[in-house]
Amino acid sequence: MTVEVETTPAGELFPALELSQGERQGDDAGQGNGLLRIRLGDVRMPHDVRLTVSTEGLRHASVIETRISGDTVLRPRLAWDTEALLQLRQPRRQTLRVSVTARGMKMLEREVQLDVHPLDEAVYFVREGDARIDLGWAFAAWVDPQDPVVDHLLELAGIHAGESLPGDRQARLGLAQKLWVALEQRGLRYAEEGAGLSQGPVIYSQRVRLLSDTWNDRVANCLDGSVLIASALERLGIGSFLVLVPGHAFVGFYVDGERREAEFLETTLLGFRKPPGHDAESAAQVRQRALPGFEAARRAGRARYRKVVTKLDGRHRPDYALIDISTARAYGIMPLAVGRRGNTASAPVASSTPAVSARPERRLP
């Protein structure tokens, strides 16, 4: 028997991709997303095998026990320790150890060197050889309606999440406006920075701050602010989506129950008209500045959406994409849940998720 270790991309592991997927059931239990594969070859007779995979940053080794009757590919799910991963700020070179045991056979062992990437790095496209792998839906993993940061934001905005969701346009706009004003009161400001980490030719990845980092540092690039606003809107039951264009992102949300009409916010306008050196603004001053800022963000968001809508057809990815959070949940993309101590990554999804089991047809707003 031979053992080969394969990863996509080659030599790289992105724990966020695995943490964003719920536990599999039945015959798929213990199986991962397939980006890590253990290929067992030259299998000449049936065997009961035990596969063990270990590396730094796991809560425990991952084990698959199964019977194979020919050449087989196993896809172990790695039990990442989010507390350990939160300490990782840049890719780390480390050893992945694989062992395969079977009755009557000598243990087979392999060690490979891999780069493990931090939780704030989102890989959204891989172009490797003839393979083209679109991972853009994984951006929804950073949208976490149950993160404690969302509780702080709603409290600051004076919004009670338990109240029934209003169905009319103006009421939903009013909630979004309150969130915007609260972010201004928090002192959140747009940070003009290059968030792209790798732009090909193999890996396309983007830095996305975790909600706690955005909230505590009070800075956000365009995607950070969009993810935070989408998290709060989803908590309120307002369906939201991320719009990705080359070098930029903004957030949209539905203002009707049928999800046919949408509004958009350009988060680069956080801190709109804030006087330099005036950090000690009163609440009234912040509100006076934030309200026209919110309207400016709506206008800018609508204008940008109209400019790119024809390219949000799925044929222009990875450069252009619309990531509807409800659709991503239906695809199985769960919140990372790294801000919720003691909870697993596959925590309950947002209340706006439609009660359907199939992959819904993606509709542009």
Confidence of residue 343 (pLDDT cuts 50, 70, 90): very low
Least confident of 79-93, 127-141, 144-158, 344-358: 344-358
CATH topology of domain 122-330: C8orf32 fold (3.10.620)
H/E stretch holding 323 reads strand 321-324
**Average pLDDT, stretch 7-11?**
93
Omega into 46 within 30° of 0, i.e. cis?
no
The pLDDT score that the predictor gives to residue 345 is 37
**Average pLDDT, stretch 307-322?**
92
Confidence of residue 318 (pLDDT cuts 50, 70, 90): confident
Q: So where are the chain's domains? A: 2-116, 122-330
The pLDDT score that the predictor gives to residue 196 is 65
The pLDDT score that the predictor gives to residue 47 is 87
**Average pLDDT, stretch 105-111?**
93
Q: 317 near 125, Cβ under 8 Å?
A: yes
pLDDT > 70: what percent of the chain?
88
The pLDDT score that the predictor gives to residue 278 is 55
Confidence of residue 319 (pLDDT cuts 50, 70, 90): confident
Answer whether residue 360 shows pLDDT above 50.
no
Q: Cα–Cα distance between 18 and 28 in angstroms, integer?
A: 14
Domain 2-116 class in CATH: mainly beta
**pLDDT greater at residue 7 or residue 318:** 7
Least confident of 2-6, 305-309, 349-353: 349-353
Q: Cα–Cα distance between 23 and 10 in angstroms, integer?
A: 24
Residues near 303 by Cβ (< 8 Å), separated by ≥ 6?
none
Answer whether residue 82 shows pLDDT above 60.
yes
Average pLDDT of the chain to the nearest whole number: 87
Answer whether residue 29 shows pLDDT above 90.
no
H/E stretch holding 295 reads helix 283-308
* pLDDT single digits (tens) 127-154: 988 888 999 999 999 999 999 999 999 9
Q: Cα–Cα distance between 271 and 282 in angstroms, integer?
A: 14
Confidence of residue 347 (pLDDT cuts 50, 70, 90): very low
**Average pLDDT, stretch 88-117?**
95
Q: Cα–Cα distance between 13 and 57 in angstroms, integer?
A: 12
**pLDDT greater at residue 258 or residue 53:** 53
Least confident of 297-311, 317-331, 342-356: 342-356
Q: 125 near 135, Cβ under 8 Å?
A: yes
* pLDDT single digits (tens) 182-234: 999 999 989 876 666 788 788 999 999 999 999 999 999 999 999 999 999 99
Q: What is the pTM of this model?
A: 0.87
The pLDDT score that the predictor gives to residue 351 is 37
Amino acid occupying residue 339: G
Sign of the torsion angle spanned by Cα atoms 139, 90, 148, 337 = positive
Question: How far is the CA of 244 from the CAs of 55, 86, 92, 271, in angstroms?
Answer: 34, 26, 28, 22
**Average pLDDT, stretch 150-164?**
90
**Average pLDDT, stretch 291-295?**
95
Asked whether this chain's domains 2-116 and 122-330 adopt the same fold, the reply is no
